Structure 1
Amino acid sequence: MIESDRFDANLTAFVLRSTGAATISSTEVVQSLWSGYGQIVRCHLTGGETQSVVLKHVRWPDQQTHPRGWTTDHSHQRKLKSYQVETSWYERYAQRCVDACRVPKCVAAEHRSDGVLLLLEDLNAAGFAGRRRSVGDAEVDACLSWLASFHATFMGEQPEDLWTIGTYWHLATRPDELNALDDSPLKTAASELDRRLSGSPFQTFVHGDAKLANFCFSLDGRSAAAVDFQYVGGGCGMKDVAYFISSCFDEDECERRASTMLDRYFEFLHEALKRSDKAIDSRALEANWRELYPIAWTDFFRFLQGWSPGHWKAHRYSKRLASEVLNSL
């Protein structure tokens, strides 16, 4: 816990002005942002209608400290844009996410010369206090249902003021990692993988970082909300699904369960598209995206092999899919 008298006066004024609260009784650091770009802080309030909010306080660092050594200017500029994208997401799009793809409500946002302030609803107080390091069937269904509803909501729309192509590993935003890639066949195929994913006639918005750690759960695990929209943008929904599965399961579980999880995702997607009243041929969409699932996985594997060779996700299942995809190109 951090005592309230150590909370910056300007931040205090921003929170109180935005919420109408009288005081901040205490603050609690939820987590530090990647590479020293700030903190996420829970603020406990008194004297207003809201008992707590979450402040995402982004500060441009004087010196970058990436945990894996990636501290180029290109990396810095990508992070700057990611926080601008996240602010645009909350200001322009987040309110369209209904309960089926729950996100925190944006209380206030402010751009500053030294960073960004995002004041968000506290999902813990809204009934999503659960965090998971491992998942059962209920949590998997909750996340796949969330992704399906999210993809259905934004199906066919243009990502204005977001990433043109979402995900934090997108090829165009990762030239350093591509240059570091030693796998020649994968390196040669990188542009074709991207072309096929971007060439799908069924484009939507992707969360862009849909790992397990970015989902918050109801106490029974049957409902989920998502956070962290720095890499939201256009794309094929299989990118999110492949990445989510990779974040939850080891190679044996991926081999055993991936097919069933894809089936569940498409069940949820068909239902969500019906609710959305969008004129989409959902069976044609499913056929197209099923073909793109191994390509989406291989595209992420391509990034991993350049970014962190030997990463635990670069396992037998990843290598098998990549080999099959490369042989089919």
Structure 2
Amino acid sequence: MSASSSPNDVASALLAEKGLQLQSLKVLQSLWAGYGFICQVTASPIGLAQSYILKLITPPPAKANDEGHIRKILSYQVEQYFYSHLAPHMPPSIPVAQCLASINHHHPNGTSTTAMLLADLKQQYPIAGEKREALSPTQVHTSLDWLASFHGFWWPRMKNMDRKALVRPPLEEVKMQRKNQDEMTVWLNGGYTYLATRRSEFNLLVKDNDAEWNESLTEWEEGDISLSEMVAAVLAPKPQGWGPTDDYQTLIHGDVKSENLFTSVAGDKVAFYDFQYVGLGLGVCDLAKLFTCSVPLSMLYSGDHVPRELPMQQGEKDLLERYLDLLKKTGQKSYDWEIFVRHWETALVDWLRFQASWGFWGNTEWLEARVRSILRDVEWKSGILGNRTYAETWSTVN
């Protein structure tokens, strides 16, 4: 596959591997910053045509120390690995798109061509989640069940994952200079908002003395370690050795929101897609974004106006209990409610740190009110501060 291959050329080559012939191709959208295309492909041998999705990534050459650019390139390779190597092991009860064929070619000019030919989810799940829109209550419950099943399935399997092959934060990954890019699997730390890769945004918050969250999240809490760094140290999976949440780490989607899923017409069936940031983490980190960005506020809080501080309400608790019950049932492991809530509230603080430094959207009043309440919880804070020595070690390498 040459660096100048067109979407038609790539689609035809991938289809040929399965004995299929391209009939038509329609570009549905461009990828971020012109890095490629999402295309709908129609193909068949002889007879009835079938619809597929081609995700074609043709980014410009890597730029030295451009963290965002490197993150994107790595994310597409991670997604390809997930669809090609991990997704086939998942049961049909956790639906994702089947990957029929894929390529990952590196060219002499420093560019690359990554492509995946995927089953078209809209054939079975015709309702697309809309950008930054709340889901219906039925869709919320179905999405929670999918996440609990996904996290539960991978939870007991994490002990068999080779952490040497996990993809490190972008700039760290570049320094590793892997001889074989095919040795990479998924992210060591799932998601794209964790502090180790968001230092530039965090530094803006540090300098913004007028911001409400400047003092509580960025000022030194113990020695020269901020609360945000202590929270990050608790949540971050470790490349080796022990971490405070190791027993609960699983594989997380990494970018859970309404626009990354399709549902049935009734909303009682769901399939997630866009696995560019799949990796190790606590399942509650996926929930923090889902609750803030895609769950109707009325399912989290029943009042007319969100107060300045807000402890957990019954609606939030009901959703969390539904998730945790299915997570434990699927994973066949124990997860004490008190520990789970501690992890959940820590994930909310970490998610707020990203929004406060990058930009707010979604149920922001609810999120901020919840975090104000969490930060006043002496028991929660003492638990975070109890990891001070561990946080100091984490901060020296991040």
Mark yes or no: TM-score above 0.5.
yes
Match for residue 170 of structure 1 among 161, 181, 194:
194
Q: Which residue of 1 aligns with 2:146?
A: 146
1:68 counterpart residue number: none
Partner of 2:371: 322
For 1:253 and 1:137, how far apart are their aligned partners in 2? 8
Question: Alpha carbons of 1:46 and 1:74: their partners in 2 closer, same or farther (altered >3 Å)?
Answer: same
Over 6 Å off, 4+ runs: none
- Describe the shift of the 1:246–1:117 C-alpha distance in structure 2 as closer, same or farther (beyond 3 A): same
1:257-268 aligned within 5 A:
257-268=315-326
Whether 1:128 and 2:125 are equivalent positions in the alignment is yes
Aligned residues of 1:45 and 1:51 also touching (Cα < 8 A): yes
Q: How does 1:1-329 map to 2 (within 5 A)?
A: 8-22=7-21, 24-47=22-45, 51-61=50-60, 73-113=66-106, 114-125=112-123, 127-133=124-130, 134-156=134-156, 157=158, 158=161, 160=166, 161-181=185-205, 182=208, 183-187=214-218, 188-198=226-236, 199-200=244-245, 201-249=247-295, 253-256=299-302, 257-273=315-331, 278=332, 280-282=333-335, 284=336, 286-308=337-359, 311-313=360-362, 315-328=364-377, 329=381
Larger Rg: 2
Matched letter for residue 186 of structure 1: L
C-alpha contact (below 8 Å) 2:11/2:117 kept by paired residues: no
Deviation readout 1:203-247 (Å, 9 max, x if unpaired): 111100011111111222111111011101111100111211112
Superposed CA RMSD in Å reads: 2.5
SS of residue matched to 1:177 = helix
Give deviations 1:123-161, integer Å, cap 9, x for gaps: 122x11211344222211110000000011110403642
Q: 1:207·1:229 contact (CA, 8 Å) conserved in 2?
A: yes
- Structure 1: which 5+ runs fail to align? 1-5, 65-71
Distance (whole Å) between structure 2 residues aligned to residue 75 and residue 19 of structure 1: 35
Q: Is the 8 A contact 1:212 1:248 kept in 2?
A: yes
Q: When the two structures are aligned, how many residues end up with a matched partner?
A: 307
Secondary structure at the aligned position of 1:93 is classed as helix
Closer, same or farther: CA 53–18 of 1 in aligned 2, 3 Å:
farther
User: TM-score, normalising length from structure 2?
Assistant: 0.71
Distance 1:247 1:31, change over 3 A: farther
Q: TM-score, normalising length from structure 1?
A: 0.85
The residue type equivalent to 1:293 in the other structure is: W
Identity of aligned residues (%): 28
- Where structure 2 has 5 or more consecutive residues not aligned to the other structure, the ranges are 107-111, 167-184, 209-213, 219-225, 237-243, 303-314, 382-398
CA contact (8 A) 1:78 1:173 kept: no
Q: Provide closer, same or farther for how the CA distance between residues 254 and 115 of structure 1 changes in structure 2, counting only shifts above 3 A.
A: farther
